[in-house]
Chain A
Amino acid sequence: MMKHLKSAIVATFTASAAALVAFPALADAPRVAVALPGMVTDRAFNENIYDGLVAVEEQFGSEIAYTENVSQATQVEVMSDYARRGYDIVVGSGGEYTDAAERVAANFPDTTVIVLNGAPTEGVTTINYNNPEFGYLLGVVAGGVSETGVVAALSAQKFAAFDNVVDGFRQGFQSVQPDGEVLVAFTNDWADVALAKEASFNLISKKADVLMPYLDGAWVGVVQAAQERGVHTVGILHESESNLVSARLDFARALVMAVDLHQKDELEAKDYVIHLTSRDQLGDFSVDVPEEVQTMALDAVEKIKSGELKFGD
């Protein structure tokens, strides 16, 4: 029932948007649809992908559509529906979409199926960031700023992509503070702000003074707790002024890249990995990050670029 209400709302929105804004529709602009696990207002993963979708609309004149809060059980249905309605590119947002994407890709060979942040899957285009690289960079900055020698990473669930981020984070942190400790906590809820805040208070009472939230809407609770107790945050999925720095897994950029390749007829059903190789993938450093730590971080980017620092594949 809610799903219907939501799709009705989305449909109305899309329809009225189409009516109001005369699309500069290029004849060959691909139509792009996205299935999202959460809300586009989370100012994190979901909103990031939504921003990418809007960028695709502006840049290529594509017709776009999206469905929010797609549960595991309805992934195949939502994505198949878009494929049936003639969307050229159908995107699943997150690793939990790979199974659904594989089925949809098999059923609709003319549709390009993309999974962002998902493991390599047959018949599907997967786009990933090299997670440890981004974790490493944040770890270096955390190591340069932490006074207690304890930092923490926080997510809702344990899964491969997050583990990889944490591995990099730990290596980066311990490259600066070899005896430093990285705590990891799970809240079991991507969007529960209050619980994330309490979990952060807990980590802070365990002496953690730099927190890395890997959460959807709930990251706000982590930032609030950090501000109230005078400790720091770094951003991997969210950007916020209070971060020491953000090394964002920017899936907006990834989506635009994919559509661009599709336009050039070069997009293949394979795994694309984006590396941390340029300064502009980082947000601004806050005033709490000393000059020499900033230099250290930028050095790390250079080392990743030159291949001196390598993580996994």
Chain B
Amino acid sequence: MFDFLIDPVQLANVLGTALRLSIPLIFAAMGGLLCERSGVFNIALEGQILFGAFGAAVGAFYFGSAYGGLVIAIAFGAASGLLLAVLGITLRVNQIVVGIAIILFATGFTSFMSRLLFPGGGNSLKLDGFSNIDIPLLSDIPILGPVLFSQNGLVYVAIFSVFAVHFVLFRTRVGMSIRAVGESPAAADAAGIHVFALRYACVIIGSSLAALGGAYLVLTQVLLFSDNISAGKGFIALAAIVLGRWQPSIAFMACLLFGLFDAVQLRMQFDQPDIPYQVFAALPYLVAILALVGLMGQANPPSSVGRPYDREMR
């Protein structure tokens, strides 16, 4: 059953699959985490991945380069973040409702526009994507070499984003302000921190990060756009944030865990034809539930998350 663990080639294959499946989750989880740390629920991650994927396809198609795709993807992500910020922070609409609205809008908008913009529909595209970068020496290490050091540029960006988010949140003055705004905006405001500006910045940057997850799908994994290409990854990223207890490093590991179990379930299905495949398909979620209830203890979200700040409110 676990024979792929012994065979180095098979193991490298499974780990490679796991990493590739977890990259969009990592981008989205880091983006969402940044928003929630600043006190704004961003459940629109699913829609922002979709926007990112669509923007990447548009950019790569019209500019003929993967970098063009990346720029447009980020622009789409930032725009959806701005929308969330205006409605959820300034106009104080319920952030959950805004998030759902953005997801629904993204689904309709991207399917509709992809039919208008791409001849023959988005799934007949063959876009220019990023190719793999082999890091010299390191990529020759058995098993881990090809998995970690012979990947796409965006994979390294995803891993870098984990370090960046962690560093900013816990090692800089701005990060401390972000956390303060997420815990107690009134106190932060009294201390002279710009609550609104900081939340706007976090939501826009976080949303752009989530959009990079979509760009990764389009520019490296499949090189085309298909309707609803995000396929629920944004929701899994939300689970990873909770599972990671709003800590970038743990959320990162949660994403890897989901990716790994997805890869393992694909592998185990046909090694074990007697067990219904649904058991394996449910495996990642089962692991999430077990981890949430048992292993991690009480999850403590930032205490002001989801509560729009109003200066006049007592």
- CB of A82 within 8 Å of the partner chain: no
With most chain B CB atoms within 10 A of its CB, the pick from A43, A194, A205 is A194
Assembled-state Cα–Cα distance A9/B105 (Å): 13
Compute the total of residue contacts between A and B using a CB distance below 8 Å.
99
Is the CB–CB distance between B123 and A186 below 8 Å? Answer: no
Binds B, one of A216-224, A291-299, A300-308: A216-224
Taking CB atoms and an 8 Å cut-off, the chain A residues in 187-234 that contact chain B are 187-189, 191-195, 197-199, 201-203, 205-206, 217-218, 220-221, 224
Is the CB–CB distance between B231 and A195 below 8 Å? Answer: yes
Assembled-state Cα–Cα distance A201/B267 (Å): 10
- CB of B167 within 8 Å of the partner chain: no
Q: Which residue of A lies closest to B276 (CB)?
A: A158
Assembled-state Cα–Cα distance A221/B228 (Å): 14
- CB of A19 within 8 Å of the partner chain: no
CB-CB under 8 A for A184 and B231, given A195-B262, A202-B17, A220-B226 = no
Q: Which residue of B lies closest to A9 (CB)?
A: B112
Q: How far is the CB of B144 from chain A (nearest CB, A)?
A: 18
Is the CB–CB distance between B222 and A193 below 8 Å? Answer: yes
Q: Which residue of A lies closest to B225 (CB)?
A: A193
Q: How far is the CB of B131 from chain A (nearest CB, A)?
A: 12
- A187 contacts across to B, CB distance below 8 A: 266
- CB of B263 within 8 Å of the partner chain: yes
- CB of B72 within 8 Å of the partner chain: no
Interface residue count on the B side (C-beta < 8 Å) = 40
CB-CB under 8 A for A217 and B227, given A193-B222, A195-B262 = yes
Q: How far is the CB of B5 from chain A (nearest CB, A)?
A: 14
Is the CB–CB distance between B270 and A198 below 8 Å? Answer: no
- B263 contacts across to A, CB distance below 8 A: 198, 202
Is the CB–CB distance between B262 and A183 below 8 Å? Answer: no
CB-CB under 8 A for A221 and B222, given A198-B17, A205-B10 = yes
Q: Which residue of A lies closest to B112 (CB)?
A: A9
Assembled-state Cα–Cα distance A195/B229 (Å): 10
Assembled-state Cα–Cα distance A1/B122 (Å): 24
Q: Which residue of A lies closest to B9 (CB)?
A: A205
Is the CB–CB distance between B21 and A198 below 8 Å? Answer: yes
Assembled-state Cα–Cα distance A43/B123 (Å): 8
Is the CB–CB distance between A41 and B123 below 8 Å? Answer: yes
- A41 contacts across to B, CB distance below 8 A: 111, 114-115, 121-123, 227
Taking CB atoms and an 8 Å cut-off, the chain A residues in 1-41 that contact chain B are 1-2, 5-6, 9, 39, 41
- B222 contacts across to A, CB distance below 8 A: 193-194, 197, 220-221, 224
- CB of B104 within 8 Å of the partner chain: yes
Taking CB atoms and an 8 Å cut-off, the chain B residues in 1-58 that contact chain A are 9-10, 13, 17, 20-21, 24
- CB of A185 within 8 Å of the partner chain: yes
CB-CB under 8 A for A183 and B111, given A39-B227, A189-B231, A217-B227 = no
Is the CB–CB distance between A205 and B13 below 8 Å? Answer: yes
Assembled-state Cα–Cα distance A5/B21 (Å): 32
- CB of B272 within 8 Å of the partner chain: no
- A9 contacts across to B, CB distance below 8 A: 108, 112
Assembled-state Cα–Cα distance A218/B17 (Å): 17
- CB of B223 within 8 Å of the partner chain: yes
- CB of B70 within 8 Å of the partner chain: no
- CB of B90 within 8 Å of the partner chain: no
Q: Which residue numbers of A lie inside 8 Å of B, CB to CB?
A: 1-2, 5-6, 9, 39, 41-43, 158, 183-189, 191-195, 197-199, 201-203, 205-206, 217-218, 220-221, 224
Q: A5-B108, A218-B226 are in contact. List 9 more A-B contacts (CB 8 A).
A: A39-B111, A185-B269, A192-B231, A193-B226, A195-B231, A198-B17, A201-B17, A203-B270, A206-B270
**Can you give 23 contacting A-B residue pairs, CB < 8 Å?**
A2-B108, A9-B108, A39-B227, A41-B123, A41-B227, A42-B123, A42-B226, A185-B269, A188-B277, A188-B281, A192-B229, A194-B229, A195-B231, A198-B21, A198-B262, A198-B263, A202-B263, A205-B9, A217-B227, A218-B226, A220-B123, A220-B224, A221-B222
Q: Which residue numbers of B lie inside 8 Å of A, CB to CB?
A: 9-10, 13, 17, 20-21, 24, 104, 107-108, 111-112, 114-115, 121-124, 217, 221-224, 226-229, 231-232, 262-263, 266-267, 269-270, 273, 276-278, 281
Q: Which 10 A-B pairs have the closest CB atoms?
A: A41-B121, A192-B231, A188-B281, A193-B222, A186-B277, A194-B221, A217-B226, A39-B227, A2-B104, A205-B13
